[in-house]
Amino acid sequence: MNSTSITVSCCVGATTLNHRIPKWKAKPPRAALVEKSKPVPSLRGGGGGGGGENAASVVLRVRDDDSTSRALARDRADDSTSRALARDRADDMQAEARAMARAVDASVYSPENLTRIYGSRPIKLVGRTVEIFAGVGAFALNLWLDRVNGGLDRNQRMRAIELRKTFTRLGPTFVKIGQGLSTRPDLCPPIYLEELSQLQDALPTFPDSEAFSCIEKELGRPLDSIYSSISASPIAAASLGQVYKAQLRFSGQIVAVKVQRPGIEEAIGLDFYLLRGLGFLVNKYVDIISSDVVALIDEFARRVYQELNYVQEGQNARRFKKLYADKEDVLVPDIFWDYTSRKVLTMDWVEGVKLNEQDAIERQGLKVLDLVNTGIQCSLRQLLEYGYFHADPHPGNLLATPDGKLAFLDFGMMSETPEQARSAIIGHVVHMVNRDYEAMARDYYVLDFLSPDVDVSPIVPALRNFFDDALNSTVSELNFKTIVDGLGAVLYQYPFNVPAYYALILRSLTVLEGLALYADPNFKVLAASYPYFAKRLLTDPNPYLRDALIELLFKDGRFRWNRLENLLVQGKKDRDFSAKDALQPVLKLLLGADGEDLRVLVIKETVRATEAVVLGSVLESYNYMPDLVRSLIYNANATSSFAMNIAEQESMLELRAQVFRIWALLQSSNNFDPSILQPIIQVLLEPGARRLGGRLVGGITQRLAARLLQQVLRAPPTIPASTS
């Protein structure tokens, strides 16, 4: 690579160090955190490579026709590779342990510590309070004057720039607020969204000399011994740090190096102390807000303080990668522990375009909605499958790579959904579809919105009033914002306590919906989410979800075939759906000790479906016969066939068609193979299942025999005298 040399002065303590660091010839755009990654050797050169060489030499020595020798050689090669991988894992764990040791003194959020530090500094508190009110108050005053003078639309761009600059001037805490607003088209006009989106990666930088000094101090070695080259200025600046592009001297790997802003802990600590004081006032005097505002502020502060520990962020990234990067359309950069500490984070360099830059994405031949849908599916897995989710997915943290993958960045703010709540959220959607508002109200106990001693009966009418209106459209047509706003109105009226994890879930999903609305104003998150919900309901053996599936499919003792068909249609849209997964949990539930009530319903409905298939097929064949053939059949001149009126015939033929469509959907699902019925046959051989089968066969036989007897005993048609 062509490069020029520059002299970078880095100060560690009172000592000034001069290093000659190669500089990138072409300065990358400041607004993008991306540059093309090149294939480079492994970080640990002797690890994986040694295993491969050993494998090759073994194979060369045994190239003959002796299959036993070849198998032995393959085993040796596999052992060699396994040992190399084990060495890599061991080295990586040791490097992570050393990084954790470098971060042992990382700050942890503590309200008591904030009180101790700032409680005795009234001058500083008053000064910061005045600064905040002056900045926000000046903007509010100008906005009010624009409204009075009729200049709201004319001055919108100027006010948006003013708000962005105010947030930037007030520091990291308010930058975080601005980042949240930049993804809410329901709250901010497009011009404001455009300006506030600059807070994601175009913030003011701090001096490079301070950044390089921080790297040396944190990693304990000179800069030129770590990197063979590093960008002379930041590629991007975020609320808590700034990012450089570098090449590791040891391996040649191109990496992103994030360095924390100096004095950041002091700045956010003071702001959170003031916000907690405001939260106490809101809890005491503002009755309309029933949630514990102080608890919400504390939860948010804990998340921000975790972002200040870059080793913790690296561990978050590793965990996220392990859980979700198994999908081919999701990319998570890896962490280099040897070059990571409390204030320095080194990870893979990722090339890509921010997800809200629609034109740039489309120029690469990609579609924004495809990437957003990938983000939604990944988010649903995060929220409802493993419960570990990215709580700060603003556009600066989501990149579209040239090969169409969605890259996740910045793992400082993570959260977890409690296991019980994951199933309850899916059940809540089922209850909403069924308009079962009593069950919806009871869900709030499981979701930890209400204490067990709260009576939910007054909440039911409020839910009914909102959702009866909202559900006039199909659920998939509902806007996520509509649901959030409607539930929000209910939450404000009753003694709900919204858990912190739920607030972060709402933020995560509204961000994704906001990104989608850039590309398609009619995009609906619930429509994109429904295939995942359908797959989970059909395949998950969780008892709570099994009960939710029964509630969805059975009503008033009748099976709703249309619901099953719709679930299969939607579930098939999820790439992970498999008919094999859908059949076995249902059988286990049906044959369980507590499944007698369900067995009665299933037997009844199976008899009805079998009758529809058998008699429907006969009836359809009869209807397609020529008139001459039909005239030879007994009772051919009757006004109805098989002792059924026209409505019954149509109903039976429709049920038969539904059964065939459902079977076709199962056949067309991923990995369908008739052999998936083998476990079912094995289950049916069990004593309990044989009894169920006997009852089922008996029911079908009785039903068909009754139909036949009814047909035989019918009175022959009366022939009019005139015809005689």
| Closest residue by Cα to residue 196 from 173, 155, 151, 162 | 162
Give the span between the Cα atoms of 635 and 180, in whole angstroms.
Answer: 74
How far is Cα 541 from Cα 367, in angstroms, rounded to an integer? 35
DSSP assignment letter at 388: E
CA distance 252 to 246: 9
Integer distance in angstroms from the first to the last C-alpha of the chain?
Answer: 106
Structure tokens at 173: 């805490």
Residues 6 or more apart in contact with residue 695 via CB below 8 angstroms: 599, 603
User: Which residues neighbour 199 within 8 Å (Cβ) at sequence distance 6 or greater?
Assistant: 164, 167, 168, 175, 178, 179, 182, 239
**99 DSSP 8-state letter:** H
* Amino acid at residue number 93: M
Q: Name the H helices within 435-479.
A: 437-446, 459-470
How is 585-633 classified by DSSP, letter by letter?
Answer: HHHHHHTSTT-HHHHHHHHHHHHHHHHHHHHHHHHHHHHHS-HHHHHHS
If you ran DSSP here, which 8-state letter would residue 660 be given? H
Q: Which of 392, 436, 540, 574 is catalytic?
A: 392
For residue 607, give the DSSP letter: H
Rounded distance, CA 692 to CA 683, Å? 11
- Sheet of 353-354: strand order equals 330-331, 406-408, 398-400, 353-354
Burial label, 445 (beta-carbon count in 10 A; 0-12, 13-18, 19+): middle
Question: Which two tokens mark 713?
Answer: 């005993």
CB 402 within 8 A of CB 351: yes
| Alpha-carbon torsion angle 209, 211, 214, 219, nearest 10 | -110
Q: Please indicate whether residue 292 is annotated as part of the active site.
A: no
Beta bridge partners of 536: none
Report how far residue 299's alpha carbon sits from residue 450's, in angstroms, rounded to the nearest whole number.
Answer: 19
Annotated catalytic residues are 392
